[in-house]
């Protein structure tokens, strides 16, 4: 939808043009009008305009002067000039200032419609699909390093965007890794920073360590790097061609890298290396296992180089991998994605089974992770009053309130359904409130400002969104609703009062009797007076 402003100091011309473009539904225009340049400028200062159709000769402010002000405010706005005579000097200046067309008032409706269609075509051509994609592609190139690291971090958290093979995402992000081949993982930590090392210095040192790692591995491995929590460095290393001695090579090379960091950067570093390449689906679980090596036993010392060979897989590892995804439940609640929420939730809760002790181990961790997630959403949606009516709040705050894990599972499931149902109802209620406020205001202000800009300000939403929301709810546009209300009110006043026809026109917002007559006849197929006379014959 485009916005168009019609400006002329002759009301009959403005009224005729408004009628013309209101009937031109194919143009999908939001129409505003003004009766002089100053009034037009006030509208333009408050609201972006796409097309302005203006008289060139007006008192106080000419169309040319208006054009200069509009060009300063809205550079993309297309100006079309109307004039009663062909004046070369005016045409030359208007064209020089960027006018796209010049139409004589005597030429009729078709040239005016054609000029506006041309303006809309130019607006569409300025921002084409291809241009937007090119701009996005250029911006993406600048943001690529950040996007790459964000995606790798999500993979380590177990988020696969519904696809088990991330090859497509790797290609889109210009990463050399393959989603079809397994990957080694190396974690790094600086054990001792130099004295007075600032945050900026740390970032520079970690960048230097990454350069050393890539220099050592570039001849036979593809490698990607990111920095995790607590300045922990992470490398995903994939052999370009699988070899049985890859793991020994990686360990030996990391030993050399450790020495290089100490010698050239004066930094003492520790590294943990995976003992085998991991499949991408295993990555979150394996990454957790590697991280644990830094947090206990030998990993607490300095200048360590460890492998995960001494760790072993267990049923608990599989459960841990599923529990790791619990943070995604927060995301699904926020996105109102009920299907994904319950698919993930059921898997997490079932993985725990029925624990021997409710208040210990994973069951305790999961319960209070869920408690934190749900309290956040219940507070944000102000649902605690509703919750207290349907459920025992104490069961949210204490795992001891649940006799079994199944009981706790059903409790959180019920809570989730309450949140999903309430968001649907809340959205419906807010839409109803917006529509109700607009309709009430229209009914009470038929002779006042009923522009889309005024109505959108009333409900604190953008004009375009209000227009779309209203049509989605009622099946009709706001302008159609306004016309219907004006028609109903005018019929009521014509039949129930002795007001003169022109007084009724003013009462429902028409500045001239001729404009009101044209409006009424368009909908009733008879003039207001003919309608009133027809009632007397009944």
Total residue count of the chain as it appears in this document: 538
Reading across the β-sheet that carries 51-55, which strands appear in turn? 29-34, 2-7, 51-55, 78-83, 101-104
Angle of helix 199-217 relative to helix 246-264, nearest 10 degrees, comes to: 140
How high is the pLDDT of residue 13?
Answer: 87
Residue 430 lies in a domain: no
Task: Give yes or no: residues 369 and 417 share one domain.
Answer: yes
> Containing H/E element for 40?
helix 37-46
Q: What is the DSSP letter of 241?
A: S
Residue 132 lies in a domain: no
How high is the pLDDT of residue 236?
Answer: 95
Task: Give the C-alpha separation, 202 to 208, whole Å.
Answer: 10
Domain C-terminal end among 288, 312, 336: 312
Q: Which residues of 259-298 are buried (b: 16+ CB within 10 A; e: fewer)?
A: ebbeeebebebbbbbbbebbebebbbbbbbbbbebbeeee
Rounded to the nearest 5 degrees, what angle is found at the Cα of 277, between the Cα atoms of 274 and 280?
110
Residue 507 lies in a domain: yes
- H-state helical runs in 55-128: 63-73, 88-96, 109-126
Task: Give yes or no: residues 77 and 203 share one domain.
Answer: no
Task: Give yes or no: residues 516 and 407 share one domain.
Answer: no
Asked if residue 29 lies in contact with residue 2, where contact means CB atoms within 8 angstroms, the answer is yes
Asked if residue 308 lies in contact with residue 275, where contact means CB atoms within 8 angstroms, the answer is yes
Residue 103 lies in a domain: yes
Task: Give yes or no: residues 79 and 216 share one domain.
Answer: no
- H-state helical runs in 324-360: 327-334, 338-352
Rounded to the nearest 5 degrees, what angle is found at the Cα of 167, between the Cα atoms of 162 and 168?
75
* pTM of the predicted protein model: 0.55
**Count of structural domains, the chain:** 4
How high is the pLDDT of residue 19?
Answer: 86
Domain of residue 20 covers: 2-127
Task: Give the C-alpha separation, 446 to 95, whole Å.
Answer: 39
For residue 399, which of 358, 338, 433, 453 has the smallest C-alpha distance?
Answer: 358
How high is the pLDDT of residue 91?
Answer: 58
Task: Give yes or no: residues 120 and 184 share one domain.
Answer: no
Residue 68 lies in a domain: yes
Residue 48 belongs to domain with CATH number: 3.40.50.2300
Task: Give yes or no: residues 168 and 299 share one domain.
Answer: yes
- Residue 127's SS3 state is coil
Asked if residue 7 lies in contact with residue 34, where contact means CB atoms within 8 angstroms, the answer is yes
Contacts for 493 with CB less than 8 Å, ≥ 6 apart: 499, 504, 507, 508
Q: What is the DSSP letter of 75?
A: T
Angle of helix 338-352 relative to helix 361-380, nearest 10 degrees, comes to: 160
Task: Give yes or no: residues 337 and 402 share one domain.
Answer: yes
Residue 65 lies in a domain: yes
Residue 139 lies in a domain: no
Name 268's bridge partners. 192
- Residue 85's SS3 state is coil
Residue 489 belongs to domain with CATH number: 1.10.10.60
Contacts for 403 with CB less than 8 Å, ≥ 6 apart: none
User: 521: burial class by Cβ within 10 Å (0-12, 13-18, 19+)?
Assistant: middle
How high is the pLDDT of residue 215?
Answer: 93
Structure tokens at 527: 């003039």
Name 493's bridge partners. none
Task: Give yes or no: residues 73 and 123 share one domain.
Answer: yes
User: 132: burial class by Cβ within 10 Å (0-12, 13-18, 19+)?
Assistant: exposed
Task: Give the C-alpha separation, 356 to 378, whole Å.
Answer: 30
How high is the pLDDT of residue 225?
Answer: 93
How high is the pLDDT of residue 129?
Answer: 60
Task: Give the C-alpha separation, 152 to 162, whole Å.
Answer: 15
- H-state helical runs in 187-233: 199-217
Task: Give the C-alpha separation, 102 to 82, whole Å.
Answer: 6
Task: Give yes or no: residues 396 and 480 share one domain.
Answer: no
Task: Give yes or no: residues 158 and 306 share one domain.
Answer: yes
Q: What DSSP assignment string belongs to 482-498?
A: HHHHHHHHHHHHHHH--
Task: Give yes or no: residues 174 and 238 share one domain.
Answer: yes
Domain C-terminal end among 84, 100, 127: 127
For the four alpha carbons of 348, 353, 357 and 361, in that order, the dihedral sign comes to negative
Asked if residue 526 lies in contact with residue 494, where contact means CB atoms within 8 angstroms, the answer is no
Contacts for 104 with CB less than 8 Å, ≥ 6 apart: 82, 83, 84, 85, 86, 111
Residue 246 lies in a domain: yes
Q: Which residue bears the tokens 């210009």?
A: 174
How high is the pLDDT of residue 93?
Answer: 56
Residue 218 belongs to domain with CATH number: 3.30.70.270
Domain C-terminal end among 98, 127, 156: 127
Name 81's bridge partners. 54, 102
How high is the pLDDT of residue 411?
Answer: 92
Task: Give yes or no: residues 152 and 298 share one domain.
Answer: yes
| Tens-binned pLDDT, residue by residue, of the chain (538 aa) | 788 999 998 888 888 898 889 888 888 888 888 889 999 998 898 888 999 999 888 888 888 889 889 988 898 899 998 877 655 555 555 555 556 777 877 778 888 999 999 999 888 887 666 666 677 777 767 788 888 898 898 888 777 655 567 888 898 888 989 989 999 999 999 998 888 888 888 889 999 999 999 999 988 999 999 998 878 899 999 998 877 788 889 999 999 999 999 999 999 999 999 988 988 888 887 888 788 787 766 667 788 888 877 554 444 555 555 566 787 788 888 888 898 899 889 888 887 777 766 666 778 888 998 999 999 888 888 888 877 777 888 888 888 889 888 999 999 999 999 888 888 888 888 899 999 999 999 999 998 888 888 888 899 888 878 888 898 899 988 888 999 999 999 999 999 999 999 999 999 988 788 888 888 988 888 999 999 888 876 5
Asked if residue 188 lies in contact with residue 271, where contact means CB atoms within 8 angstroms, the answer is yes
Q: What DSSP assignment string belongs to 410-463?
A: HHHHHHHHHHHHHHHHHHHHHHHHHHHHHHHHHHH-TTS---HHHHHHHTTS-H
Name 189's bridge partners. 270
Task: Give the C-alpha separation, 24 to 410, whole Å.
Answer: 57
Task: Give the C-alpha separation, 392 to 30, whole Å.
Answer: 52
Structure tokens at 388: 């207290």
């Amino acid at each position: 939808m485009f916005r168009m402003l019609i400006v002329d100091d002759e009301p009959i011309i403005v009224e005729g043009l408004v009628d013309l473009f209101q009937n031109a539904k194919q143009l999908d225009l939001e129409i505003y009008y003004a009766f002089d340049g100053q009034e037009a400028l006030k509208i333009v200062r408050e609201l972006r305009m796409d097309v302005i159709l203006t008289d060139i000769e007006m008192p106080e402010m000419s169309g040319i002067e208006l054009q200069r002000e509009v060009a300063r405010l809205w550079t993309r706005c297309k100006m079309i000039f109307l004039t009663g005579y062909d004046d070369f000097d005016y045409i030359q200046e208007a064209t020089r200032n960027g006018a796209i067309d010049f139409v004589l008032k005597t030429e009729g409706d078709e040239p005016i419609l054609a000029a506006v269609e041309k303006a809309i075509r130019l607006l569409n051509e300025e921002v084409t699909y291809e241009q937007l994609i090119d701009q996005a592609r250029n911006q993406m190139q600048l943001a690529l390093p950040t996007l790459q690291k964000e995606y790798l971090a999500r993979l380590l958290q177990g988020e696969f965007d519904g696809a088990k093979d991330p090859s497509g995402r790797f290609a889109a992000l210009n990463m050399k890794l393959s989603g079809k081949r397994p990957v080694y993982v190396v974690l790094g930590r600086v054990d001792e920073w130099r004295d007075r090392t600032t945050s900026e210095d740390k970032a520079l040192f970690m960048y230097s360590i990454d350069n050393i790692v890539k220099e050592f591995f570039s001849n036979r491995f593809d490698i990607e790097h990111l920095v995790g929590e607590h300045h922990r460095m992470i490398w995903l290393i994939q052999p370009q061609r699988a070899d049985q001695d890859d793991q020994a090579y990686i360990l030996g090379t990391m030993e050399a890298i450790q020495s290089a960091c100490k010698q050239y950067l004066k930094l003492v570093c520790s590294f943990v290396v995976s003992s085998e390449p991991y499949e991408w689906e295993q990555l979150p679980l394996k990454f957790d296992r590697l991280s644990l090596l830094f947090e206990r036993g030998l990993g607490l010392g300095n200048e360590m180089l460890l492998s995960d060979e001494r760790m072993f897989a267990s049923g608990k590892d599989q459960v841990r991998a599923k529990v790791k995804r619990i943070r995604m439940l927060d995301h699904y609640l926020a996105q109102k994605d009920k299907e994904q929420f319950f698919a993930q939730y059921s898997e997490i809760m079932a993985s725990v089974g029925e624990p021997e002790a409710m208040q210990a181990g994973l069951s305790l961790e999961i319960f209070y992770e869920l408690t934190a997630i749900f309290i956040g959403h219940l507070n944000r949606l102000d649902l605690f009053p509703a919750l207290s009516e349907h459920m025992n709040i104490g069961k949210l705050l204490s795992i001891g309130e649940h006799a079994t894990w199944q009981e706790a599972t059903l409790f959180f499931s019920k809570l989730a359904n309450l949140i999903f149902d309430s968001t649907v109802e809340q959205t419906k209620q807010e839409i109803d409130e917006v529509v109700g406020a607009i309709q009430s205001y229209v009914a009470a202000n038929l002779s006042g400002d009923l522009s889309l800009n005024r109505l959108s300000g009333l409900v604190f939403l953008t004009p375009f969104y209000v227009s779309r929301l209203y049509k989605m709810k009622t099946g009709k546009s706001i302008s159609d609703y306004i016309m219907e209300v004006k028609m109903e009110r005018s019929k009521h006043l014509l039949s129930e009062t002795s007001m003169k026809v022109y007084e009724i026109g003013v009462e429902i917002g028409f500045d001239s009797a001729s404009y009101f007559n044209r409006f009424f006849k368009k909908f009733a197929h008879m003039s207001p007076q003919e309608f009133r006379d027809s009632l007397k014959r009944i």
